[in-house]
Amino acid sequence: MGFHEETVSFGGIAIAGQQGSLVAPPVGSGVTVVVYEPVSHVGGMAHIPFPERSSNLGSQTDHRLESLVQLLTATGAAKSNFRCVIVGGARYRQELGPEEDLLWPVMETALKSSKGYLEQIGVSEVTCEVGGAFGRTCSLRVSDGHLTVTSGDGRETLFMMGRN
């Protein structure tokens, strides 16, 4: 079996097994939720590019995360072993001025909704790489749980999701 890289579609979800990797499209004010299960070596991503709308709180995030969790558990991954990183939530449109102040609470809702859903299903390890003035991309190497987050300013952060 060869190495397989899966690119998560814009606004989509995807999972990969031990010999695979996942790459998410850039996310600015929205979020990408990365889930890794170190025992079964399965990983997944949900790309949530747009902040929640206040009239429909949680529906977009909850639907994507519920679908992602169902796919992961169908492979034998245990929710009790999930390790998660939430990436995004940037305030990168500084030139917008007053509109930015209106957008930030909506973006914050996407982050809170993601964390809330994960806590609701019993995920105890959730890390956030959010905020700042730049969007981000991320890639997960499923064999060892190495998650690389690259910011629009060129900064890279490595998360070791496979560590016990």
Q: 38, 161 in Cβ contact below 8 A?
A: yes
Angle at 48 between CA 85 and CA 66, to 5 degrees: 75
Residue 107: which H helix or E strand, with range?
Answer: helix 98-120
Per-residue pLDDT of the chain (164 residues; tens, 9 = 90+): 345 788 998 889 999 998 899 999 898 888 899 999 999 999 999 998 875 554 444 457 778 899 999 999 999 999 999 999 999 878 755 545 545 555 556 567 778 888 888 999 999 879 999 888 888 999 999 999 999 999 988 999 999 998 75
Alpha-carbon distances of 43 from 63, 109, 129, 132, 133, rounded to whole Å: 18, 24, 18, 26, 28
Which pLDDT value is given to residue 61? Answer: 79
Which pLDDT value is given to residue 54? Answer: 46
Question: First vs last Cα of the chain: how many Å apart?
Answer: 26
CA–CA distance, 79 with 85 (Å, rounded to integer): 14
Beta pairing class for 136-141 and 20-27: antiparallel
Which pLDDT value is given to residue 164? Answer: 57
Alpha-carbon distances of 128 from 112, 149, 157, rounded to whole Å: 11, 11, 12
Which pLDDT value is given to residue 94? Answer: 52
Alpha-carbon distances of 20 from 16, 29, 42, 130, rounded to whole Å: 5, 27, 9, 25
What's this model's pTM, rounded to 2 decimal places? 0.87
